[in-house]
Each structure stands twice: as C-alpha cells, then as structure tokens.
Amino acid sequence: MPTTNKRGIELLQDSALNKSTAFTEAEKQALGLVGLIPDVTETEDVQLRRVMQQLGHKNTDLDRYIFLVNLLDHDETLFYRTIMSDPTRFLPIVYDPTIGEACLKFGHIFRQPRGMYLSMERRGKVKEILRNWPQKDVRILCVTDGGRILGLGDLGANGMGIPIGKLQLYTAAAGVPPQYLLPMYLDAGTNNQQYLNDPLYMGMHKARPATADLFSFVDEFMEAVQEVFPKCCVHFEDWTGVDAVHLLQRYRDKYCVYNDDVQGTAGITLTGMINATKLKGTKLKDEKYLFLGAGSAGIGLANLLCSALVAQGMTLKEAQAQVHMFDVNGLLESTRTDLVDFQMPYAHAHKPTRDFVAAIESIKPTTIIGVSTIGGAFTQKVVEAMSQINKRPVILALSNPTEHAECTAEQAYNWSKGKAIYAAGVSFAPVQYQGQTFLPGQANNFYIFPAVGMAIFATQAKRVSDEMFIEAAAAVADQVAPDQLKQGLLYPLQANILEVEIQTAARVAKLVFDTGLARVDRPTDMLAFIRKHVYKPQYATLV
C-alpha cells in the first residue's frame, strides 16, 4: 500500500516526497506517475552526478545559489544529498559569504515563497496565521526582522534569505530533520530608503516602528508560538543589536529561545579562544581581551566569555575586568555617557581614547576580537602593536561577509611576522610564510548553533542556557587534531562537519539532561541517542 495519499502531479510538486527520476516501477504504477516522468529508475548517485554537471555550467556562486534553491523547491532530498556530499564546497554557497549577495538581491532573484511571512499589519491574528503552516510539529523556528543582516545593515524583507539559509545548516551540518524547521520573516518595515523606493521590494513599504510597538507585537508572536507549536525553540537571527540583546533578556527565562548573533557567535569565538590558549600553554583566565565593536555580537561574546571565566574560578567582576571594548566612539570607559545598559559592565576606569592602537598599547591585550563590520579595521599598525606586546598575539577578525573582515589571514601572518594566532568569520586559504604553512580557521557559527539545535530537538529542552553554548564551544575545540592545531587551525575541518556536530550535540544533550531541562527520558548512550535523530538524505519508500 502507498505511504502517501498524494498521486501524480501533486506528488511531483511536493519537494519533500518528490524523487524525480528515482521512483521505482512499483511506485510509478501505484502512484499514477507513469508517463509523467522519464521512464527510468535512476540511483541517487546518478542524480547527484547530473546536479554536479549542471552546477559546473554556472559562472558565479550567486548563480549556483539560485540553482540550489530551485533544486530545494523541487527535490528536498537531492538538495541535501548535494550539500552534504561536500560541505566544504557547498556551505559557502548556500550560506556565508554568498548569502550576503543573495539577500541584497532577494526581491530580484525570488522564485517562490519558502517559510512564513508575518507582518505587523496582522496584529491580533498571529495564532491563526501560524496555523496556516502545514507542519504541526515545528521544533525550531528561525525568525528575523531583517534589521541587521550580516554586516550589511537593514535589509528588511530581503533578510528572509538568512533564516532560510540558517535552517538549511541545521540539517546539512547537524542532521536536524528539515520537516521540523520553520524560517520566518517578521515584517516590521525598513528604514532602508533604497528598498522603500524599489517596486520589487517584497516587504511593507513603511519605516520601522517605535521599539515599544515592535516589542508588543513580538510578545504576541512568542505567546502564539507556545500555543501553536508547544515543543518549538525560537531562534532569533539578525535583529538590530540593541533589540537582539533586549529581546533575549525579555524571553530567555520564560520560553525556549536563543539568539545566534549573541550566543552562537560567542560560542564559536570561545572555541577559538580555548584552542588559542592550548597553543600558548595558558588558560582563558590568563588572557586579556579587547573587542572592536560593542554591539549585540560583542556584548554576547563578552558575557559568554565571562561565564566561562567564572567557571574557571574567577568572580564575575574579576572576569569583566579582563574584558575591554572599543566602539565607534572609542574605548568604553567610565566617563562615557552614551552607553546602553548592557555595555556598562565593560566600561572600566581608563583615560578616554578614540585611537585603537593607543588602546592596545595602554591595555596590553593578549587577544583582539573584531566584531565591527568594518573591513580592514585591523590595520598593519594594529597587528604590529599586538605583536610587540605578545609572543603569540591572538587576532580574531570575525566580521562578514569577506569584504567586512577586519583583516585577512595573509595580512595577519605577514604583519605579525608569523606570530599571530588567527581566525576569521569567513574562509581564507592557507598562507605560506617563510617556509611555514598556516591554516586560518573560520569562526563560523555553523559549528555551534546546528549542534545546539540538534541537542534541543532530541531532548525537547524546555529552555536554552549559556552553559549549552559554553559546552558546545569546548566540544568543538576538542575535535581539532593536534597536528592541525600546530599549524594554527583553531576549528575542525568543514569536510567532517556532520560528525563534529553529532559529537558536539551529544555533549550538549548530556548537559540538558544533567540540568533537568529535558522533556524526554534520559538515554543510556547519549551518542547513539543523537545518531537516532539524525536526518539522512535518502528517498523514502512510498510503496
């Protein structure tokens, strides 16, 4: 008997069930497909070969992105089979850095809707709208208001490419089954005049509302999610910095919610810091940190770092004293009157300065972290200043896409004369310096949030804690081989990302059970428990 009620053209139009040229003869006969598809039964390997050949004819990564999204719209299994066949090649196409260009042009390359679009014009109707989604058991909902997309700013509705891409990474990098994932754009307008003037812009042609008005609508949205999708974790993504921090504070103790820009970025950066201390033979509490950028990512990172330092025996005040921050108006220090509440713990007594190099020379940090979105902000003078006060300066240039990186790998190694321990938010090729090969790591959140998401999915966690991200950071750090670490690689190779994330998810899941946050029974074998939940890109037998 068929395992689906869909037949013929209706079945072929369902991307989750469509097998294209891989339907068996029995399926064709039973499901009314004879004559509607070529009269062959191909293996998935043959289908993948055709996809690779077609991709080979595309001239740009944006063209490849459009092709792959179109494949997803028609054959979900083959899409994930393709991405998971070569993560190193395809993750930069379906996500960063290509996703940045795709978002900038989203309204112009749009083919068909994916996910849900929730406008503030629908106030009072959110529950009814959520019930329009065909899958009733949503476990992870990724939502953006497009307020601050990557380092590109307010993209409004064009930012929908981000939650779509993020959820693809949950599946491709950590094996979370795609049917449980829901990307959403919460339309609160845009202050981007270019898009307001664009007839192809697909969001509300209105300026953004007052914060109180926005937050009251998000309150309605969060309450509706709990009722319609009671096992759902809400993943906030790419909201403006102040909103990101305040919304996380607003909901984290009440709902299962987290913000990847705040906690995921912090987690993956903490991974780099942990492995940098392994290279140096120090501990986190021995280091001193200076951030360039004090928005949601920087503050989230600093807060998580301080939590990790407290776990190593420091008091919170001692930990905060090790962390300094620098923004567009200079060093955060105690005489500044323009700081928001969450920046205040890092505003120490210090002489005011707007000179980042002077701040380095005065504070003498062992690590600088760039979350500024300002390409080239780590100048030669910055790197040289770090090299003069440190045997092994740690330089983390985390902004993306590529043109926003604070410095390139080649610049960091050359300007430091090979002394730097370096990682970036984007991928850079290996660098040769005086006969030595350095492997610059990519501090990309996709090592962290999909694994945390898999742990949440498998355990049905009630809440998301900072400790989960600290544990994930340590788990990822532990999976870098010693020989790779010696070459400066702070993160595992992407080619093996699924296994890395399964191992990470198992450790996070153990923590979920240990802290009493799970809603399922504790398994005897945590790794086997995670593997049991992992999606495999294989066609279902329909007859």
Q: Which of the 8 DSSP states describes residue 473?
A: H
Q: Exactly one of 80, 95, 447, 535 is catalytic; name it.
A: 95
Tell me the C-alpha to C-alpha distance, in Å, between residue 96 and each of 65, 88, 93, 164.
11, 12, 7, 12
Q: Per residue in 392-408, is it b (16+ CB within 10 Å) or e — as a string?
A: bbbbbbbbbbbebbbbb
The answer for residues whose C-beta is within 8 angstroms of residue 469's C-beta and 6 or more apart is: 258, 263, 264, 266, 267, 270, 304, 448, 452
Q: Exactly one of 166, 185, 258, 535 is catalytic; name it.
A: 166
**What value, to the nearest 5°, has the Cα angle with vertex 406 and ends 361 and 413?**
75
Q: Beta-strand (E) ranges in 398-475? A: 421-424, 431-433, 436-438, 441-442
CA dist., res. 266 & res. 447, Å (int): 12
> Around Cβ 337, how many Cβ atoms within 10 Å?
4
Catalytic, 180? Answer: no
Q: Report yes or no: 274 and 477 within 8 Å, Cβ to Cβ.
A: yes
Q: Report yes or no: 172 and 500 within 8 Å, Cβ to Cβ.
A: no
Tell me the C-alpha to C-alpha distance, in Å, between residue 201 and each of 98, 106, 214, 239.
20, 8, 21, 19
Of 396, 394, 397, 413, whose CA–CA distance to 405 is shortest? 397
Q: Report yes or no: 415 and 380 within 8 Å, Cβ to Cβ.
A: yes
Q: Which tokens is 62 given?
A: 């944006």
Catalytic, 201? Answer: no
Hey, which residues are catalytic here?
95, 166
